[in-house]
Amino acid sequence: MATETEPDTRLHGGRLIARRLRAHGVRKLFTLSGGHLFSIYDGCRAEGIELIDVRHEQSAAFAAEGWAKVTREVGVCALTAGPGVTNGMSAIASAAQNHSPLLVLGGRAPMFRWGQGSLQEIDHVPFVRPLVKLAATADATGEIPSLIDEAMRAAIAPHSGPAFLDFPLDLVFSEGESGEPPAPLPKPWLGAGADPGAVERAAALLREAERPVAMAGTGLYWGRGEGALGRLIEELRVPVFVNGLARGCVPADHELCFSRTRSQGLSGADVALVIGAPLDFRLGFGAAFGPETKIVVIDVAEPSREHPREVAAELYGALPATLDALRESAARPARSDREPWVEALAGAEAEKRAAEHAELSDPRAPLHPMRVYGELSQLLDRDAIVIGDGGDFVSYAGRVVDSFTPGCWLDPGPFGCLGSGPGYALAAKLAHPDRQVVLLLGDGAFGFSGMEFDTLARHGVPIVAVMGNNGIWALEKHPMEFLYGYSVAAELRPETRYDEMVQALGCHGELVRTPADLRPALIRAFESNLPSLVNVLTDPSVAYPRRSNLA
């Protein structure tokens, strides 16, 4: 038996998993109870890892991804065998497209009975493998620590993303050696920058540019490039636009950060630095830039697919080193010729913000979504974490809610999976209990994971959710009516009392019918110290102006 000064080295498999996770800094594990996971739970309890149990496995995986998004650490969840893993697959796919570092632990039917029809017996690895960077099954209890090490490293290696391990029931109840403590996880963002020749090609373009822009996306955040980007835009006077997790990496009130003039800025640029942002539908598959714009792609690693248009230079490597090298190489004595470009964008930005005032104070009832954000924005702290989970309602938020610090804007990302919001909010508040966490929620999105308000209540996590309740699937109804003159499968029950539903789950809930009722309801929600839902009836005739994202 081990003494007080000699740690146990021979442990059951679940304890080996937990001890290795703790050694890598994991503090919380998100899960939904399942018998295949009992040994892992026992290990977490012994090793001091807090278990956060939810009401659907998808939410456990989304919560783990949310933890990754607000901490830039690997988020970890455990899903029971069979339907537990399959229930989590949409969230795993979302993490893959968001490059979120995630470790998914799966339960698995016992190895010694494999192929005989045990409960929930199915081989997860073949159908999970296309979504993850690593997918493996433990073959022996003793290899568990090294498998955890390998999966953690895979999750954070550029491009970061999800990894999956599953553990046969008999192996996690058997014993094995804990082995030596693991080596520290690498820090890819501290690595070498892009090839110097590629940097010089990009710098030559940037030195000659009169109308440069930077377009930064989620990869900037994962690559920890915000400091270097800030230095670059300030020294070289480059206007910047952001999307995804890059929101807040340059404060929205920085003189060179623009949002309302993105179309004008990108299409009018002569050189565009595209940093951690794929040329996908969000950038019109490259058409958001002018036909003569010279595009410089900058990222932590090469993309997995071809660029949809020709690019002038490609820089792949650690972002801080790459961006600093580009800034130093592109420096020139005088930059006054860029001021007219900056001033033109600043003037247009001010005009567009002024034009929003009418909608932000719209007196109609049911409310215009913009009126909701006009009131909410006055109550948000500068470091508030805002989470979007919905269609049209969240599209308006993406347009007008400003972000000022990294990791403070979370949305589903390019996979567009609704139902992510409550899991994200749960993790965000657990990671940052002293900050406001606000979930912007469509009434349609509520249907995917509304029972997680029970999770929030049980764990005492006081987030504030604001619902835009228009009784329709607006993202589908309005375009379908435009195309066909009618819509189908796009109606929800009008004025459903979701506020009463969350009250029944132990939360604070209020219904808002008029603009005058909104601000007091929001204040009461923030002051309630309970998970809260402000259920705002919004005008179903209002449609967010958009081009199709389907092409």
Q: Kindly calculate the radius of gyration of the chain based on its CA atoms and give it in whole angstroms.
A: 24
Give the chain's end-to-end CA distance (angstroms, integer).
Answer: 64
Q: Tell me which DSSP letter residue 164 carries.
A: E
| CA 147 – CA 182 distance, rounded (Å) | 11
The token pair that represents 36 in the structure block: 């295949």
- Residue 468 near residue 538, CB atoms below 8 Å: yes
Residues of the chain with pLDDT under 70: 1-7, 333-336, 546-551
- Residue 372 near residue 536, CB atoms below 8 Å: yes
| CA-CA-CA-CA torsion sign (350, 270, 158, 223) | negative
The token pair that represents 161 in the structure block: 């993303």
For every residue of 483-550, DSSP letters joined together read HHS--SS-B--TT--HHHHHHHTT-EEEEE-SHHHHHHHHHHHHHS-S-EEEEEEB-TT-------S-
Q: How far is the CA of 501 from the CAs of 439, 471, 538, in angstroms?
A: 17, 16, 18
3-state SS, one letter per residue, for 119-135: CCCCCCHHHHHHHCCCE
Largest CA distance in the chain: 77
pTM of the model: 0.95
CB atoms within 10 A of CB 275: 30
| CA 549 – CA 551 distance, rounded (Å) | 6
Q: Tell me which DSSP letter residue 447 carries.
A: H
| CA 309 – CA 330 distance, rounded (Å) | 24
The pLDDT of residue 309: 95
Residue 14's DSSP bridge partners are none
The pLDDT of residue 112: 86
How many residues make up the chain in this entry?
A: 551
- Residue 374 near residue 361, CB atoms below 8 Å: yes
Provide CB contacts within 8 A for 148, sequence distance 6+.
17, 20, 21, 24, 103, 165, 182
Q: Which of 30, 25, 57, 55 is nearest to 41 (CA)?
A: 30
Domains in the chain: ranges and CATH = 10-186 (3.40.50.970), 190-351 (3.40.50.1220), 356-537 (3.40.50.970)
| CA 140 – CA 13 distance, rounded (Å) | 9
Residue 29's DSSP bridge partners are 51
Q: Which of 220, 210, 216, 194 is nearest to 268 (CA)?
A: 210
pLDDT 10s digits, 470-484: 999 999 999 999 999
Find where tokens 């987030």 sit.
463
The token pair that represents 444 in the structure block: 């349609």
| CA-CA-CA-CA torsion sign (542, 545, 547, 550) | negative
- Residue 155 φ/ψ region, left for φ over 0, alpha for ψ in the -120 to 50 degree band, beta for the rest: alpha
100 by DSSP, 3-state: which? coil
| Cis bond upstream, residue 162 (ω within 30) | no
The pLDDT of residue 546: 62
